[in-house]
Structures are given as C-alpha cells and as structure tokens.
A and B are shown apart, each in its own frame.
Chain A
C-alpha cells in the first residue's frame, strides 16, 4: 500500500467519522422533536403491503411524526393487543373491528376522537352514519372508521352465460331458480354447483337480519335469538342443503375452493376476497350485492376502525389524529386492495367508480349490519356458530338449536350481568 493511498484513506476516515458524528447529533435532535407512533393491526396479507406504502408516504410527508407498523395475524392479534393494553403497553394507534370495540372500551383502553370530527379535519357528514354509530359510546366517538367490508356476491360470468342467466339473482325466487339451472351432475357426484356456503357465521347472520331477526334486542340488549324470524332464516338455508340438496354440505373454505376451480357459480364472500380472485387470471367473475332472501335488505359487514390509545399526551394525541386523518384521506388507495372507503366524497370519485366490484358492494352500505359488540363476543359467536352448524347439517331443527343456544348464551350473560350494572370505565 502506497503512502498516498494511506493518507487518502485517513482523510476519508476522518470525513466519515465527522459525518457519522453529525448524523448521530442530527438523529438525536430529530428524535427528540419527532413524535414516534406505534401502529398495530392484523393486515398480514396483501392489505399489509398496501398499508405499508401509505405509511411510508405519511412518514416522508411528516418530518415530525414517524409511524412504525406492526402486523400480526388476526387470530392472535386481539389477544396480544388486549393483554398489551391491560399491561399498559398498548400501541399508540391500533385497528379494531366493530364487534371488538365494546370490550376495549370497557377496559378503558381508548380515547375519544370527537375533536377531529367536530373541527372538520374529517367532516362528520362525509362518514356513513350507520358505520360511525358503531364507534359511539356514551355520546362520544371512540374510533374513526376507515372502511366497510360487506359481504356480497361474486359470480362466475361464464357459468351464468352457459346456464342462460342474464343477470345476477337478487331475490329469493331468482336465486333458487338459478340454483336449479346451475347444478350439474357429474360422474359419481355433482360436477357443478350454483352456490356453496363459505363463512357461514356471517352468511347466516345476514339472512337472519333480512328476515328481521336479531341476536340481541337493539334497545334493551336482551337475547332475542330464538325468534320466528331467525328460525325462518335457518329453515330456508337448511332446506336448500338438507332437503332439496341444491347446496352442498357446509364445509370450511369449500365455497372459495370450488369457485376458483370454476365449479361453483356463486359465492357470498367479503369484498376482501377480491385480491385472491384477481390473482386468478382465467376466472371471469362479476360482483353484485347479496341476494335478499328475506323481506328486507340487510347484509353483514365489518369495519376496520382506527383507534387511539388512552393516556397519550397532547402532542402525541395531535400526531395520532394527523395520522388517522391521513389514512382516512387516503382510503381510496386502501380500497384498491379490496375495501370500500367510509368517506362518501371518495366514493363519488371516478377512481372509485372504476373499482367495479367495490362499487357494486358499496351500494349495500345503507343497510349493512354488524355482529353485535359485547364484552362476550367470542362466547356468543361460538354458540351462534354451533346452532347454525347443527341446523345446516340437519342434526337439529331450528327450534332445538336456537333454544339450546339461548340457554347457553343466557348463562354467559348472567355471568356478565353484575359488571354491566356495576361502574363501567
């Protein structure tokens, strides 16, 4: 190694060291100024990559706020979030589905966000009132809804054309007629089905709501699952499966597997299934609102609500609200991956109209219905699932199944009763 080279490298070293020192000082100054927000959610699929892009954009545009996102599977997400919250380690911003809000609210883990709704940062009249209402407790709004993801119908255009069906069925009569025309026998079984159930919890909840049935009374919260409306809804679907054999036995995932194989003409799935269907380029599918088999329109939906942790200081809260507003303003980017924005102004854009599946599902927003949010959501859902399971397999009548579910949910409610009357946080 020559002398010159060594001196150059020494000079370089000094320069690098100085730059590094400056960088450290700079970083330090920046980190004392910038508010750091931790954001948790369950977007582990393609939706997570979309969210990451939006956050990167946010971080670039906001020097004084830095957001880091942590994703985990929805299956374990709520446990971790809840336990972190109780241990005072909750993330600053997090996502809750509408049916989860109640227990986090009761545990005192959330902060009201009314300030940003009333000062016009996110205009209240731009949000769908029935979606926003689900975030409200004791006169305050505890979350900003980001999207709506209702159930809807995906149908196979080619199978429809082959069966001579011009448009997606929308009434019970049209639906049952389509089932007859689409079912085709094959060797040793059925080669093609008109409709296969997927996630039966939300499908059955949608149909029950279409007959006017409720799990809990809207006003009193009393258990009303064992009602003529719910029984009628269950009988309708059980009839299609068990008696008429127009729909195959219920089996997890079956609907989507068959639909992607081109052997099922219709599935009722969430709009969030769109990316998966789009990946399959040889599948010509259309999207339509859910069939209304009962006497009134209703369809299950979920919503990702943006929530702010309780106990942040003013500066952190302001930063969190800036972040919430940014996500809400950019919810069309979010919608592209199989969601529908809650902002009406964004849904009226040409860009949204070009998202045909989302636009078709969005027509249902005025009548979407959420699963009730209670402190014992998982417990009543287990019983609800069991009742549907038994009836749809023909091993119990709707009367028997709903009576048993009522007994079991009532027992859970009794356990919770003294908390409801006690001081809620």
Chain B
C-alpha cells in the first residue's frame, strides 16, 4: 500500500516541482514581500514594515482609480461574454457536419493571436481620424467618434476587442458541455410537448450548469486580471482612465521598482477576486 502511494507521488512529481517552483514559491515570496519595504533602487536592504504597504494602498488615489477601471471592465465584459458565448455555442451546435467545424475554427481563431498583435490592429481600427471603423460609419452619416479618447468609450473599445479576441474559449467549453447532454432527454421532452425555448430552459441550462459555472468563474478571474489589452490599446489613457489594477501593479513593481508595495496591491486584488469568485460559486451551487 505504502509503495503504491509513493508511486502516485512519483507520477505527480514533475507537476509538483513546477507548481512549487513557479507558483507556490513565488506566491509565498510575494506574500512575504508585501510586508517589506523593498525598493530595488534603494541602497538600503529590504526591511519589515508590517501593514504599511497595505495602509498606503488603501489611501492611494491611483490604486482606487485603477480598481474602478478594472471593475468597470469586469462589469462591462463578463455579463456580455458568457451569454454571447452560450448563444454562439448553441448556434454552432445547430449547424451540422463540416460547416460546424468551420464556425468553430472561425470563432476560436482570434484567440490564437497574441494580445499585442490584436491590440495594435485594433488601435489602428479605432483611430478617430484615420481608422477603419469611422471610415465605415461615415457613409451612414455618423460623425467621427474618438473611440479611445474618453475613458468610457475607450473602455467600451477594450471590451469589444476583448470579446472578439477571447469569445472562442468559453464558446468551446460551453459547446463541449452541450455535446455532453444526451439527445434522449430532448426526445423525451419533445414527447411531453417541451420544445424550443422550454427545452432550452428546462433541460439545456440546468445540465449546462457546471460548464457555465466554470466559464463564468474563469472569465471573471481573467477579467479582473485584464492587462495586455488596455496596456497596448490605450496605454492606460486617456487621463489614466483605463489604467487597470494590473497595469498599476506592474508599473509600481517593475518600473517604479517598489516590489513590496506592488506585492501588497496584488494581494489586495487577489482578495477582491477571491470574494467575487466565492460569491459566484455560491450563487451557482444553490438550488
């Protein structure tokens, strides 16, 4: 028995090593850092300062501003992403054979492109004076819109681009979930007279719950950690209106070289994410 148990760990070893070295280790290191004053440019060694970094963060107007920008992104993107992914999954599932493969690939394809490429293309696309989007809208009599020139339209631009870029992931997960539902259920329901919307509401949605929960939680966590899209598309502008928490943390730690303070802020962001994720699990588990 004991030998068998050790064999199990042996198989886990490669994963555990990587997990320890690249996730657990840095995580603990980051937690320790968050209680230290560790400014890389300072000739003074790092020193323990208790909760000072945390209290600085709570009084830092820029940190709150960046949290607001992040929250705005989450609130704007998550409630659209999951229903849209579900809609696409159902639509794709309704298509048969090779054509389904085509749509699956077409919707998933943008996810393969790196965030910098996507953002650069979209930055040209959104440009007020010389961009494609306004050029397409001009014949309809729409005055040129400065998409990236006010905080709200810029965030909208980031959300739309993110949808185009990442919708394929949750769509595939939900599609896989749809395929798991046995056809007999629908056949039985049809005999009882439940088709169309009723079948969807009574059979599809409840059985899709695990896949939906997974997509929702992953999407929420991903949305809170948004970084690359605003970083390249708007650089955090205009007037720091789209500088999200992750960008501010990155700047603090790796451009201002205040590692301790950056670590403290990222633990605060972690807390926010954890609370939201736990809340969601609750909501979806009940009933």
Contacts and interface: CB of A to CB of B under 8 A. Distances in A.
A425 B44 CA distance: 11
Contact of A248 (B129, B143, B257): B129
Interface residues of B, number: 32
Interface of B: 40-44, 123-124, 127-131, 134, 138, 141-144, 146, 148-149, 234-235, 237-240, 251, 254-257
Nearest to B124: A257
B128 A188 contact: no
A312 to B, nearest CB: 22
Interface of A: 79, 82-83, 86, 103, 106-107, 187-190, 193, 196, 248-254, 257-258, 261, 263, 375-376, 378-379, 382, 385-386, 389-390, 393, 395, 419, 422-425
Given A188-B138, A389-B237, A382 B251 contact: yes
A415 to B, nearest CB: 8
Given A79-B254, A188-B138, A382-B251, A249 B128 contact: yes
A338 to B, nearest CB: 20
A353 B287 CA distance: 80
B130 A258 contact: yes
A393 B238 CA distance: 9
Contacts, number: 86
A106 B124 CA distance: 40
Given A196-B129, A252-B148, A188 B240 contact: no
B239 A422 contact: no
A394 B41 CA distance: 36
A103 B41 contact: yes
B196 to A, nearest CB: 44
B149 A257 contact: no
A390 B149 CA distance: 11
B143 A263 contact: no
Nearest to B241: A389
B132 to A, nearest CB: 11
A254 B123 CA distance: 9
B129 A253 contact: no
Contacts of A82: 40, 257
A189 B40 contact: no
B130 A261 contact: yes
A386 B130 contact: no
Contacts of A261: 130
B43 A251 contact: no
Nearest to B250: A79
A103 B39 CA distance: 12
A379 B256 contact: yes
Best-surrounded residue of B124, B134, B138, B256 (most CB of chain A within 10 A)? B256
Nearest to B233: A252
A386 B237 CA distance: 8
